[in-house]
Structure 1
Amino acid sequence: MAEVTIGNSEFDRDTAIVRRSPGVYDAELSAGWTIIHAVNGGYLLALMGRALGDALPHPDPMTVTAHYLTASRPGPAVIRTEVVRTGRTMSTGTATLVQFEDDGTEVERLRVLAAYGDLDALPDDVRTTAKPPAMPPYEECFGTDAAPEGRPALPGSSAITARLDVRLDPATCGWAVGAPSGNGEMRGWFGLADGRDADPLSLLLTVDALPPTAFEMGLKGWVPTVELTTHIRCRPAPGPLRVSITTRNLAGGFLEEDAEVWDANDRLVAQSRQLARALLD
């Protein structure tokens, strides 16, 4: 079996783009990254990030903001990019993803504004009060296909779960056994199921790949993203990631999710905030 590496994995194949003309790309949204019937927002963000990485002169996403306009579905899509500004250390661009109805009507799915730079050129100076999330070892956490002895595994509810290696802190997955804590917290170990190491592009998936905090707050069903902003802080080291997501305020049918992603060297490699709809009964 061939070794899975960055550039040679299911994630890379499913986020592949084909340049149709300068700034315009064809893509195929894979059904393997769906939640219920919609394509996962983090996967879409990574796909847009790949197109912008081709269109802009700098290699790495630094900040990416996406507004999700309509639910994407598996199948063909077109990404259109525009270079807004280029500088010595950073460049800025926009991208839109569209799909087409059976009658040919064009429907815009999401719109992105992003700034790119070179993570390898950043200074090593780190001054932070942030700390990695405290949670049990990987082997003691819940997964979709495995759990500590005597404890139920998490229910797999969508195609995307087969492509991820997620192990949730038992303290944040009472929802899986019908006993949500009421706290807006979700923590877990994260990796891709085929063993591909993380890179800046896959971090755009990571921030939106855990179950929503709304589940642990006692809500059920789809929690669609309205807006998602992700900051990539440094290139992740090989090895499993740890993800911590918190919600402080659910009001008016909307909630925020603040995510932190830490690598195997205890470095904060990505942060995000998203606004999502809470589908209340």
Structure 2
Amino acid sequence: MAQAAEQAALTTQAIIGDSEFDRDTAVTLREEGVYDAELSAGWTIMRAVNGGYLLALLGRALGQALPHRDPFSISAHYLTTSVPGPAVIRTGTVRTGRTLSTGQASLFQFADDGTEIERIRVLATYGDLDALTGDVRTSAKPPAIPPTAQCVGPGDGPAPIAGGSAITERLDIRLDPATVGWAVGAPSGKGEMRGWFGLADGRDPDPLSLLLTVDALPPTSFELGFRGWTPTVELTAHVRCRPAPGPLRVSLTTRNFAGGFLEEDAEVWDSADRLVAQSRQLARAPRS
């Protein structure tokens, strides 16, 4: 136990001093399987903590709790709205093997009377991305996005990219002009969003930050004519390989809105034209 606590302290010390993303997703080992965290107000969207940031936070805890360090697949159910402030993450090992390990984790916050409220619960499989073979057989192609100089950033146009959300200050997003009709009151109705993505402080992508990336662009619901917060109900992300340094390209699509809910599929491509992450989420459309 003492050795595990010492290792966790060294890990936390190494994280502090890196990018804001690393500092704000840091976790501190309290006891075996239990980690303390602080949800930063800097990653909020309309006062709610962003789901991708939460996924990365739990992903970091599981990476410390499991014998394997890289997220391969992680599925999250968002149970209640997370808010900035202290949180506790409780992890558990489901199975360990030679090449893969599976764990579960839940994030809790506290009500005014001190009772714990579960915010998000995940089940994840971890492995070693560096051990994957180089055999790739795919029909997938990177999205066609204009150069960044021709794309739309937070300071362009009559409206900020994410509607006055704090998270936009920590992201470097440049949207394809073909997917920003919503910003001028003329949504395309196609349910598409594409753009270049990076962290504002220049931190290069890694498997953990990819968990943020899949849920960081404005939602496709904007191009369907909806405005406002689009809360995630469930999100599953797959990390396919370790990303190369440099900006990412992200493509989001929605094919079916029905009954007040929509799916959103994400593809993330790195600077070497490799598909490094995929995700699908079910989200509730904004209430009018």
- Name the TM-score, length of structure 2 as normaliser: 0.93
Aligned-partner residue type, residue 76 of structure 1: P
- Residues 93-142 of structure 1 deviation map (CA, whole Å, 9 limit, x = unaligned): 00000000111121000000000000000000000000000111111000
Aligned to 1:188: 195
Aligned to 1:23: 33
Question: 1:280 Cα shift?
Answer: 3.7
Secondary structure, counterpart of 2:283 in structure 1: strand
Distance 2:127 2:116 in 1: 32
Consecutive unaligned residues of structure 1, counting only runs of 5 or more, are none
Aligned-partner residue type, residue 170 of structure 1: P
Aligned partner of 1:246 among 241, 253, 274: 253
CA contact (8 A) 2:95 2:103 kept: yes
Aligned-partner residue type, residue 278 of structure 2: Q
Aligned to 2:83: 73
CA contact (8 A) 2:193 2:251 kept: yes
Aligned partner of 1:161 among 143, 150, 168: 168
Aligned partner of 2:264 among 253, 257, 263: 257
- Residues 258-281 of structure 1 deviation map (CA, whole Å, 9 limit, x = unaligned): 000000000000000000001242
CA contact (8 A) 1:16 1:47 kept: yes
Aligned-partner residue type, residue 78 of structure 2: Y
> 1:121 and 2:131 equivalent?
yes
Secondary structure, counterpart of 1:25 in structure 2: strand
Distance 2:149 2:31 in 1: 48
CA contact (8 A) 2:16 2:23 kept: no
> 1:140 and 2:150 equivalent?
yes
Aligned-partner residue type, residue 79 of structure 2: L
Secondary structure, counterpart of 1:49 in structure 2: helix
Secondary structure, counterpart of 2:130 in structure 1: helix
Q: What's the C-alpha RMSD, in Å, of the aligned pairs?
A: 1.3
CA contact (8 A) 1:6 1:196 kept: no
Aligned partner of 2:277 among 270, 273, 277: 270
CA contact (8 A) 1:241 1:261 kept: yes
- Residues 179-222 of structure 1 deviation map (CA, whole Å, 9 limit, x = unaligned): 11111000000000000000000000000000000001000111
Distance 1:119 1:34 in 2: 30
Aligned-partner residue type, residue 104 of structure 2: T
CA contact (8 A) 1:187 1:245 kept: yes
Question: 1:153 Cα shift?
Answer: 6.2
Distance 1:153 1:109 in 2: 31
Distance 1:261 1:109 in 2: 26
CA contact (8 A) 1:142 1:153 kept: no
Aligned to 1:56: 66
Distance 1:195 1:170 in 2: 23
Aligned-partner residue type, residue 138 of structure 1: T
Distance 1:152 1:217 in 2: 19
> 1:201 and 2:208 equivalent?
yes
CA contact (8 A) 1:52 1:93 kept: yes
Distance 2:287 2:182 in 1: 16
Aligned-partner residue type, residue 115 of structure 1: T
Aligned-partner residue type, residue 94 of structure 1: Q
Misfit runs of 4+, over 4 Å = none
Please state which structure has a larger fraction of its residues in helix: 2
- Name the TM-score, length of structure 1 as normaliser: 0.95
Give the number of aligned pairs.
273
Question: 1:154 Cα shift?
Answer: 3.5
Distance 1:236 1:128 in 2: 17
Question: 1:152 Cα shift?
Answer: 4.8
Aligned-partner residue type, residue 23 of structure 1: G
Question: 1:37 Cα shift?
Answer: 1.0
Distance 2:57 2:92 in 1: 15
Aligned-partner residue type, residue 186 of structure 2: A
Aligned to 2:107: 97
Distance 1:106 1:59 in 2: 28
